[in-house]
A and B are shown apart, each in its own frame.
Chain A
Amino acid sequence: MKIVIIDYGAGNIQSIKFAIKRLGFEAVLSSNEEEIKNADKVIFPGVGEASSAMRMLRQSKLDILIPTLKQPVLGICLGMQLMCSKSEEGETTGLGIFDVPVIKFNNSVKVPQIGWNQICELSSPLFKNIKESEYVYLVHSYYVSECEQTIATSEYGVKYSTALRKNNFYGVQFHPEKSSNAGEHILKNFLEL
C-alpha cells in the first residue's frame, strides 16, 4: 500500500509518520502531483494558522489538486479545517470540500481547547470497533458546527463536529497519532478503507 502524507510545510508530520510505522506501514512525504495522485491513501496534515497554511497550499497548487483526488483522503486537525468552505482564522477561504465554515470558540470556554475529549454519535467505517464516547486528544481554537457531513461530535461549550466525511474525503479534528491506542486504531481503520 502506498501512503502519502502531503508535504506543504505545515504540520507535525513526524508523529504521523511514526504512528503509521507502528501500524506496520511506511508513509512518504510528498508535494509531487503524480505521486499524490497515485497513492492508495492520502493524509493531509496541518498544525498552525489557517490563512498562512492556505497560502502555502496555493503556492504549490495543492489547493487545486486535493479536491480532485479519488482515493481516501484524511485531513487531520488544521488539515480538516482547510477542507471546509472558509475559516475565521485569518479570514481565509478553504478548499470547499466540506460545505461548512470554521468558526472560533467563544469566550465561555478556555481557548485553545487542549486535552482529551470524547467523540460521540460515531457513524462511519472510520470508527469501526471504536466505542461510543472514546477519548481522543485535541488542540484547537476553531471548530466546525454540526452539519450533514458530520460523522462524530464532541462537546466544548457547544456541540460540534469532531469528524466529517464526504465521499472519499474524511476529516478529523483530533490527532489520531497522539490519541493512544484508540487513535492508532482509527488510523488503521482509515488505512483499511
Chain B
Amino acid sequence: MLTKRIIPCLDIKNGRTVKGINFVDLRDAGDPVELAAIYAASGADELVFLDISATEERRKTLANLVLKVAEKVNIPFTVGGGISSVEDVDILLQNGADKVSINSSAVKDPDLINRLAAKFGSQCITVAIDAKLIDGEWIVHLVGGKVQTELNLFEWAKEVEMRGAGEILFTSMNNDGTKNGFANEALAKLSTELNIPIIASGGAGNMQHFCDAFIEGKADAALAASVFHFKEIEIKDLKEELKNKGIPVRL
C-alpha cells in the first residue's frame, strides 16, 4: 500500500541551513548534508531543500550542494528556490535531485511547467503554491506571501495540473508559523478536485495536526520545518502515532 510521506524542509542560504536548528548531536548545525543524513536515518520519507540565497553564485552553490547531498543520502529529495529555466532544472537533476519545485517562476511564465514536464517528465516537477484566505477566497501569493496575485488557488492548481505538474506543494500563509494545524479544508478540496499528489505545508505544531492533514485534509504528504528541527516532534514517534491512528506509513 502506498504510504503517507513525512517531509522535513531545510531552508538553505549560500549552501548552509538557516532556520535555527537544535540538534545537539550535530557536529555542524549549518551543514545541510549532515542534517539530511540524520533525517534519512530517522525515518524521513523525503527531504525538501529550499534555497533562499540571493547572490550571483547561488546557482553554482546550489548545484554543488545537490551533488553532495546525493552522494550521502539514500532517500529522495526535492530542490526549490529561484528555479526559472530548463537549464536550471537540468543541472539540478543531473547532480542527483529527484524533483524540483517551482513557484513564482511558474506564475510569471506558466508555460515553463509545460516545457519542464515535456523535457524531464511530470514526475519530477513539483509546483509550490503559497496562498492566503482573503474574504473567503484563497488567493495565490508570491515571494513568501509578500506579493498578492489575482489567481484563485483552486483555479491555478487545476491549470498547473493540466500543464503537467506531477505534484503540488500547498502552503497556507494563514497557517504557516502558527503551529495551529494545517489548512485542512482547502487541502481536502485540492486533493478531491485534482488527480495528482498534494503535499500539505504550513501550521504543523503537534502530531495530531499531521493526522488531521492526512484524514480531514486528504493530503498525500505533509511537510514541516521547525517542529522537526527543534526536536519538538521526533519522526519515528510521529510515524508510530500515525500508524496507531490507522494511517499507512513506512516504519
Report A's interface with B, CB cutoff 8 A. 12-15, 18-19, 21-22, 47-49, 107, 110-118, 135, 137, 139-141, 155-156, 175, 177-181, 183-184
Cβ A135 vs Cβ B96 within 8 A? no
Given contacts A110-B196, A112-B122, A180-B40, are A21 and B71 in contact (CB under 8 A)? Answer: yes
The CA of A116 and the CA of B249, in the complex, are separated in Å by: 8
Given contacts A135-B250, A139-B123, are A117 and B3 in contact (CB under 8 A)? Answer: yes
Which chain B residue lies CB-closest to A117?
B2
Which chain A residue lies CB-closest to B119?
A48
Cβ A15 vs Cβ B220 within 8 A? no
Cβ B220 vs Cβ A115 within 8 A? yes
The CA of A117 and the CA of B45, in the complex, are separated in Å by: 11
29 contacts between A and B (CB under 8 A): A12-B93, A12-B96, A14-B96, A15-B70, A15-B98, A18-B96, A19-B74, A47-B93, A47-B121, A48-B119, A49-B118, A110-B195, A110-B196, A110-B220, A111-B196, A112-B166, A112-B196, A113-B2, A114-B220, A116-B3, A117-B3, A135-B250, A137-B76, A139-B166, A140-B123, A175-B76, A175-B98, A179-B74, A180-B75
Cβ A116 vs Cβ B74 within 8 A? no
Closest Cβ of chain B to A172, distance in Å, is 15
Closest Cβ of chain B to A85, distance in Å, is 21
The CA of A110 and the CA of B218, in the complex, are separated in Å by: 12
Categorize the interface residue count of chain B: 35 or more
Cβ B98 vs Cβ A139 within 8 A? yes
Closest Cβ of chain B to A43, distance in Å, is 15
Which residues of B are found within 8 Å of A116, using beta-carbon distances? 2-3, 5, 45, 250
In this assembly, does B1 line the interface, its C-beta being within 8 Å of a C-beta of chain A? yes
Closest Cβ of chain B to A118, distance in Å, is 6
Which residues of B are found within 8 Å of A117, using beta-carbon distances? 1-3
Report B's interface with A, CB cutoff 8 A. 1-5, 40, 45-46, 67, 70-72, 74-76, 93-96, 98, 118-124, 166-167, 195-197, 220-221, 250
A107 is contacted by which of B70, B120, B195 (Cβ under 8 Å)?
B195
Given contacts A48-B120, A49-B121, A114-B220, are A178 and B76 in contact (CB under 8 A)? Answer: yes
Cβ B121 vs Cβ A178 within 8 A? no
Which residues of A are found within 8 Å of B166, using beta-carbon distances? 112, 114, 139
Which chain A residue lies CB-closest to B44?
A180
Cβ A177 vs Cβ B196 within 8 A? no
Cβ A156 vs Cβ B2 within 8 A? yes
Closest Cβ of chain A to B60, distance in Å, is 16
Which residues of B are found within 8 Å of A178, using beta-carbon distances? 74-76, 98
The CA of A137 and the CA of B46, in the complex, are separated in Å by: 10
Cβ B3 vs Cβ A135 within 8 A? yes
The CA of A15 and the CA of B72, in the complex, are separated in Å by: 10
The CA of A187 and the CA of B40, in the complex, are separated in Å by: 18
Cβ B195 vs Cβ A111 within 8 A? yes
Closest Cβ of chain A to B27, distance in Å, is 20
Cβ A110 vs Cβ B75 within 8 A? no
The CA of A88 and the CA of B154, in the complex, are separated in Å by: 30
Which chain A residue lies CB-closest to B120?
A48
The CA of A117 and the CA of B5, in the complex, are separated in Å by: 11
Which chain B residue lies CB-closest to A78?
B121
Which residues of A are found within 8 Å of B118, using beta-carbon distances? 49
Closest Cβ of chain B to A158, distance in Å, is 12
Which chain B residue lies CB-closest to A113?
B2
A14 is contacted by which of B2, B76, B94 (Cβ under 8 Å)?
B94
The 7 closest A-B pairs by CB, nearest first: A14-B96, A135-B250, A139-B123, A116-B250, A178-B76, A15-B96, A112-B123
**Can you name 16 extra interface pairs (CB under 8 A) apart from A14-B67, A18-B72, A47-B120?**
A12-B93, A14-B95, A22-B74, A47-B123, A110-B196, A110-B197, A114-B5, A114-B167, A115-B3, A115-B5, A116-B2, A137-B76, A140-B123, A155-B1, A178-B98, A179-B74
